[in-house]
Amino acid sequence: QVQLVESGGGLVLAGGSLRLSCAASGSIISIDHMGWYRQAPGKQRELVAAITTGGSANYGDSVKGRFTISRDNAKNTVALQMNSLKPEDTAVYYCNVDAVLVGKYRFDDYWGQGTQVTVSS
């Protein structure tokens, strides 16, 4: 089992900043990618940012230059610093990890419960 605990969502004015954090725990042998996705009402879930164990990051086009993803491999945590927030960033943000667990022999995707980010104009 994997537990992904997210924190840091909330309500912010346009132009403001928020920082999301996600901590993974459980019977984890190894984590490959860690990342954040988001889903706005009536829209498909989309990649916000993802980062490899080595620190290589990729971002969705709409957040490039505004958001920064980071991770702590020793603590199995991933964070998303969101600056210059816009109303269109409003969505539920989900933590995602690609991990192999005790008793498993492949990497699988695991998801957090989601945290709401609302950007008001």
What is the predicted pLDDT for the residue at 1?
A: 87
Contact 94, 49 (CB under 8 A): no
Residues of the chain with pLDDT under 50: none
What is the predicted pLDDT for the residue at 15?
A: 98
What is the predicted pLDDT for the residue at 38?
A: 98
User: Does residue 77 sit in helix, strand or coil?
Assistant: strand
What is the predicted pLDDT for the residue at 57?
A: 98
